[in-house]
Chain A
Amino acid sequence: MVKVTYVAADGTRTEVDAAVGSNVMQTALDNDVDGIVGECGGAMMCATCHCYVDEGWTEATGTRRDGEDDMLDCAADEVKPVSRLSCQIKLTEELDGLVVHLPEEQV
């Protein structure tokens, strides 16, 4: 288990226990965290799982995956350098403590 913290657009923080091997989108859904829709189930086809990786964690989460840039263009909210599709961030031991910020809009 690793810890992941979701910071909603209004500042509310939710810390959850996540399984290594799951991803940041699925973990949010499994724990009823609002602010991530994840409508395509992680197929990288909907951009409703947009998140901003906390500045302290961008190195650990690594670079965007193949095709992720294109799909991020379809996100409802502003895309920043720290923007990721949370379904493409796979949880590893190294990501224990990860903090992601959620945009105001997903659809």
Chain B
Amino acid sequence: MPLAPVDETVAIGDLVRDPYPIYRRMRAETPVVRVPSVKRTFLTKAAHTKMVKDDPVLFSSNDPTTPMEPAFRAHTLMRKDGEEHRRERMAMQKAFTPKVIKTNWAQLYRDITDRYLDRLPRGETVDLYSEVCAPVSARILTHILGLDGASDAEMMRWSQQLIDGAGNFGWDPKLFEITDKANDEMDVHIAACAERLRAEPDDSALSLMVNAADPIPWSQIVANIKIAIGGGINEPRDAMATIVYGLLTNPDQLAEVRRQEAWGAAFEEGIRWVAPIQASSRLVMEDTQIGGVDIPKGDIVMSIQASSNRDEDLFEDGEDYRVFRDKNPHQAFGTGPHHCAGAHIARRTVGEIMMPELFERFPNMSLPDPEAIVWHGFGFRGPLSMPVTLN
């Protein structure tokens, strides 16, 4: 079979600005395609991205050439396979269950959301993104992880720095100096929190890990917490801002969501429409084929869930935000062994708490200038601000 075709026309900048028309064209013309500017083979069809992520033996997450390791100063579970991955993952998974949220945290999260909403001035235009989406996500995550004492600003900065470092494919040493400093700060704070949680255990992820009967190594406990800091703030933030945009620009749908209290469906559709994590890479372990082309061992394929989520084979009007779909089998949380560890948390906090609280508090909220909103990102994507008028 032939190798995948090469697309020389696509530049990183185009993908960062608006990848969706590009993905649509690829799905139609070259669903499996090599993109030299990114040095990856793009997979743009839902069946292919799912197949790749569901087969960790052939398509490994263990790619040692990504900047993730220097950025986190650790080989993290996101880049491991098999038993080692499962053990590290299960060490914290129980802190992320619907039951723990419902019984222990739901009221606290409502109170946190209320507290941030209380601060907002009425009758003015405020940026929900920076005033609510980001800090509320940060505050909630601080509790889930057991990092009490870290400020919203610290959590958001650490998260962004880890992400910038993990995405440092230009291997710019300055970015790693920044992550080194952030890692120093996190290491100190995580150690202090662990000390406290050993004396007074609670249901947080850190407490669960340090007080386990057979704990995973300290280095991996720290790495897990950092992955959750890196993965647990920006995605809920971007999801929330995207959903607000989707609902405010489709008032008829908003009215229906309110009537049916279909906040969960509004959430699912938001992350389908603009997946907060758009793509993930896998290393090809053996020569194989995908969609009628040869994929050689050693190639790196990029599973582009952003594209799968709009695949015409699965979705009608996939380019539009449409809450009331018959089925919504999106891949925004990934699939396979690396399926998002925080999916239940994100669904419960954003879908069941933050969205309804926000729209109940500000029933006449409006988006004065939808055209002015800038969307940004290739690996991660969302709006850069969400200025709404509250009245």
Contact = CB atoms under 8 A, between A and B. Distances in A.
Interface of A: 32, 39-43, 45-47, 67, 70-71, 73-76, 105, 107
Given A73-B99, A107-B264, A39 B94 contact: no
A39 B93 CA distance: 16
Interface in B310-350: 327, 333-339, 341, 343-344, 347
A13 to B, nearest CB: 20
A39 B98 contact: no
B27 interface: no
Question: What 6 A-B pairs come out closest when comparing CB atoms?
Answer: A40-B339, A41-B54, A43-B337, A41-B335, A74-B97, A76-B98
B339 A73 contact: no
Question: From DSSP, what is the main secondary structure of chain B's interface residues?
Answer: helix
A74 B94 contact: yes
Given A67-B86, A73-B99, A74-B98, A43 B344 contact: no
Interface residues of B, number: 26
Interface string B96-128: 111100000000000000000000000000000
Contacts of A32: 327
Interface of B: 50, 53-54, 56, 86, 89-90, 93-94, 96-99, 264, 327, 333-339, 341, 343-344, 347
B339 A107 contact: no
B339 A76 contact: no
B204 to A, nearest CB: 16
B336 A43 contact: yes
13 contacts: A32-B327, A39-B333, A41-B53, A41-B336, A45-B336, A45-B338, A47-B344, A70-B90, A73-B99, A74-B96, A74-B98, A74-B344, A105-B98
A102 to B, nearest CB: 16
B203 to A, nearest CB: 12
Contact of A40 (B94, B96, B327, B337): B337
A39 B343 contact: yes
Given A76-B344, A107-B264, A43 B339 contact: yes
Nearest to B50: A41
Nearest to A42: B54
A75 B102 CA distance: 12
A18 to B, nearest CB: 19
Contact of A45 (B89, B98, B347): B89
A9 to B, nearest CB: 16
Contacts of A71: 90, 93
A75 B99 CA distance: 8
A105 B327 CA distance: 16
A38 to B, nearest CB: 9
A4 B347 CA distance: 30
